[in-house]
Amino acid sequence: MANIVRCKACGFVTDQGKIKDICPACGVPAKMFEAYTPLISLKRRRILELHTHPVLVHFPLAFAFTLFLLSVALQFASAKIQGDLISTIQVLSCLLPFFAVGAMATGFMDGKLRFRKVTTPMLKKKIILGLVFFIIAIVMAVLALSGQLLTSPTHIVYFIVAVTASLYGSLLGIIGGKLLDAKLPG
């Protein structure tokens, strides 16, 4: 088993053999590293190091923000490209709920591995916000497929829902960032 070390300056943890002259994360000299004993099993650590949840969670958040921007662009687009924008909105809106489910599933797995349960206060908040985000994603898909995106009431509702999705996505990201700062339990 490799010797695990931790940067005293930033907390970056890695195998000692991967350190050159400086910390790859913060750039301090390699002498700032100290021996480190991981608080979790090797099996749990290997799964967590795949970062499946942080990677998969970016898709629905990026889609939500992109859909918000596309709904704004649709309002100002010429008739020539409105059809293309609507098609793009429809495809992304239909994919959004599936990516949201993927992000939630990996979130449950990540929470269970990091904290051994998914009932901590912050994880409960993330679950609730994630479910609301999923419902919003379904509403966006239904609105996008209604064929009425160019009509004023539907476009306004879609725009509001897209803004709401972006806000909920941001809240999920903020809570997720705070959870990444939490120390892993033994």
DSSP character string of 77-129: --HHHHHHHHHHHHHHHHHHHHHHHHHHHHHHHHHHHHHS-S-SHHHHHHHHH
Output the pLDDT for position 181.
60
Structure-model confidence comparison of residues 178 and 172, the more confident one: 172
pLDDT digits (tens, 9 = 90+) for 130-156: 999 999 999 999 999 998 988 889 999
> Which residues lie closer than 8 Å to 7 by C-beta, 6 or more apart?
13, 23, 25, 26, 28, 32, 33
Q: Would you state the structure tokens that stand for residue 146, as one six-digit string?
A: 């209604």
b/e sequence 67-105, b meaning 16+ C-beta within 10 Å: bbebbeebeebeeeebeebbebbbebbbebbebbebbbe
